[in-house]
């Protein structure tokens, strides 16, 4: 029995500008995504019948009991294969085995990463030969973040975040990721944003952020990280304010809530700072894990 193993990255939003709520229930966004060296892997193999099955293994023992990933047709990787099969007009069954590293419901798009990986893996196993753009179109219906996770690197997301254009970015950056014990629901965070900010402006990307990326200027990048959802995440989870404070006091260039949270991400000036910062951040309220990682990283790709 053959199989294809695909690795897909987590993302952070270096800039997340949220505009008005649209008639379709989504907000107009202008965001700068960066993919990180923090990956889920999905192994895809074909079955003799037409069933789609999924198994999930969590990589961090201490997070195991807090992980809430559906093991049925609601799993985003299963939904991705289902959609691809329908679009391609095939009914071959597929087994999916997910190795989960990306924090669940953490604002790092782990479910979307699994969907992106499943699309790439099933495309290969079924021999469909679809392009990344074609897969992205299917992926966008499952999650606004999916097209970016197929793309990887650094990208601007517009529309509801699903329209991706590449960004010129030099060099790599070091980050510490503080995983929270309990996740936050993305729709709830957007609803809290609407409550706090009933009349938002059109979304925009700060030119200074783009200039920092072009010039590989970590200090400038730190000054211009921004996230319009942060105030909503802090309102729902006030202790995150303390987490951000601890990281910045301990020497991070900047700290930000990742997407809809509650994961907090700290930009490092130097990888040598990681150890001291990690020790400090472990004492932060609600902290389940501290991960040292880097970005940008490639999008979903076959590793075996
Ligand atoms: C906030 C962001 C930032 O990149 O990511 P996460 O922090 O969740 O990873 C995204 O906008 C989340 O994208 P994703 O997690 O794919 O969400 P989706 O499944 O598309 O949408 C879930 C729900 O979030 C809200 N939503 C999402 C995207 C958007 N532009 N406007 C919205 O209002 C809607 O209520 C929607 O029903
Ligand atoms: N493969 C998957 N991995 C993680 N979560 C999934 C998956 N499939 C469905 N979900 C559901 O999607 C929700 C959001 O998960 P996730 O993508 O990790 O967070 P976020 O939207 O904050 O980035 C989870 O609460 C979970 O119930």
Mean pLDDT over residues 91-104, rounded? Answer: 97
Q: Are residues 177 and 162 in the same domain?
A: no
Query: Between the CA of residue 234 and those of 9, 96, 111, 237, what are the distances in Å?
Result: 25, 35, 22, 5
Element (H, E) at 76: helix 76-88
Q: Are residues 30 and 163 in the same domain?
A: yes
% of residues, the chain, pLDDT over 90: 96
Q: Is 24 a catalytic site residue?
A: no
Q: Are residues 180 and 115 in the same domain?
A: no
Q: How much is the pLDDT for 169?
A: 94
Q: Is 145 a catalytic site residue?
A: yes
Number of structural domains, the chain? 2
Work out the number of other CB atoms within 10 angstroms of the CB of residue 127.
10
- Ligand 2 atom closest to the CA of 261, numbered from 1: 22
Residue 300 lies in a domain: no
| Pocket flag, ligand 1, residue 145 (CB < 6 Å) | yes
Q: Of 92, 117, 124, 80, nearest to 102 (Cα)?
A: 117
The Å distance, Cα 302 to ligand 1 centre, comes to 26
DSSP strand pairing (173-180 vs 287-295): antiparallel
- Nearest residue CA, atom 21 of ligand 1? 143
| Pocket flag, ligand 2, residue 252 (CB < 6 Å) | no
* pLDDT tens for each residue of 121-160: 999 999 999 999 999 999 999 999 999 999 999 999 999 9
* pLDDT tens for each residue of 168-220: 999 999 999 999 999 999 999 999 999 999 999 999 999 999 999 999 999 99
| Pocket flag, ligand 2, residue 75 (CB < 6 Å) | yes
Residue 259 lies in a domain: yes
Q: How much is the pLDDT for 100?
A: 97
Q: Are residues 194 and 155 in the same domain?
A: no
CATH of the domain at 192: 3.30.70.890
The Å distance, Cα 104 to ligand 2 centre, comes to 6
110 is in an annotated binding site: yes
* pLDDT tens for each residue of 110-119: 999 999 999 9
DSSP strand pairing (154-158 vs 163-166): antiparallel
Q: How much is the pLDDT for 52?
A: 98
103 is in an annotated binding site: yes
- Prediction pTM value: 0.97
Q: Are residues 129 and 185 in the same domain?
A: no
Q: Are residues 179 and 242 in the same domain?
A: yes
- Report d(CA 256, CA 104) in Å as an integer: 18
Residue 118 lies in a domain: yes
Q: How much is the pLDDT for 248?
A: 97
Is 80 exceeded by the pLDDT of residue 61?
no
3-state secondary structure of 215: coil
| Pocket flag, ligand 2, residue 262 (CB < 6 Å) | no
Q: Are residues 45 and 157 in the same domain?
A: yes
Q: Are residues 206 and 162 in the same domain?
A: no
Q: Are residues 160 and 193 in the same domain?
A: no
Residue 147 lies in a domain: yes
Mean pLDDT over residues 48-54, rounded? Answer: 98
pLDDT bucket at 1, cuts 50 / 70 / 90: confident
Q: Are residues 135 and 247 in the same domain?
A: no
CATH of the domain at 75: 3.30.230.10
Answer for the pair 9, 152: CB distance below 8 angstroms, yes or no: yes
202 is in an annotated binding site: no
- Ligand 1 atom closest to the CA of 157, numbered from 1: 4
Q: How much is the pLDDT for 59?
A: 75
pLDDT bucket at 70, cuts 50 / 70 / 90: very high
Is 80 exceeded by the pLDDT of residue 63?
no
State which residues form the domain around 213. 173-295
* pLDDT tens for each residue of 223-244: 999 999 999 999 999 999 999 9
Pocket perturbation via mutation, ligand 2, pick of 40, 69, 71 by most ligand atoms within 8 A of CB = 69
Q: Are residues 93 and 53 in the same domain?
A: yes
């Amino acid at each position: 029995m053959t199989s294809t193993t695909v690795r897909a990255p987590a993302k952070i939003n270096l800039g997340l500008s949220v505009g008005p709520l649209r008639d379709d229930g989504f907000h107009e966004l202008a965001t700068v995504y960066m993919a990180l060296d923090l990956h889920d892997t999905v192994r895809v193999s074909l079955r003799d019948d037409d069933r789609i099955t999924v198994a999930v293994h969590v990589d961090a023992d201490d997070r195991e009991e807090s992980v809430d990933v559906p093991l049925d047709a609601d799993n985003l990787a299963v939904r991705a294969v289902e959609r691809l099969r329908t679009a391609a007009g095939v009914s071959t069954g597929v087994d999916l085995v997910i190795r989960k590293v990306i924090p669940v419901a953490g604002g790092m798009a782990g479910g979307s990463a699994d969907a992106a990986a499943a699309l790439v893996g099933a495309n290969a196993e079924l021999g469909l030969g679809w392009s990344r753009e074609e897969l992205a179109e299917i992926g966008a219906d499952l999650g606004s973040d999916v097209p970016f996770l197929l793309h990887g690197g650094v990208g601007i997301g517009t529309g509801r975040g699903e329209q991706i254009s590449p960004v010129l970015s030099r060099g790599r950056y070091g980050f510490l990721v503080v995983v929270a014990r309990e996740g936050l629901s993305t729709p709830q965070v957007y609803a809290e944003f609407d409550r706090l900010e009933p009349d938002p402006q059109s979304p925009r990307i700060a030119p200074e952020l783009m200039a920092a990326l072009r010039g590989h200027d970590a200090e400038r990048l730190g000054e211009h990280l921004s996230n319009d959802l942060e105030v909503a995440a802090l309102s729902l989870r006030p202790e995150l304010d303390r987490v951000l404070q601890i990281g910045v006091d301990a020497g991070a260039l900047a700290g930000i809530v990742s997407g809809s949270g509650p994961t907090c991400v700290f930009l490092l000036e130097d990888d040598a700072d990681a150890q001291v910062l990690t020790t400090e951040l472990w004492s932060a309220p609600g902290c389940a894990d501290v991960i040292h990682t880097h970005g940008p990283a490639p999008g979903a790709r076959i590793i075996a």
